[in-house]
Amino acid sequence: MREMYGVRRFAVAAGSEPDAEPPTVAMQCAVCEESSPAVELPRQHAPGSREVARRSAAGWVRQHREANREHFTYRLVKTHPYRLVPGGWM
Ligand SMILES: [Zn+2]
Are 10 and 87 contacting, i.e. CB atoms less than 8 angstroms apart? yes
81 CA → ligand 1 middle, Å:
27
69 CA → ligand 1 middle, Å:
9
* pLDDT tens figures, 42-68: 766 667 777 777 787 789 999 999 999
72 CA → ligand 1 middle, Å:
8
pTM of the model: 0.73
DSSP state letter for 32: T
pLDDT at 45: 64
37 CA → ligand 1 middle, Å:
14
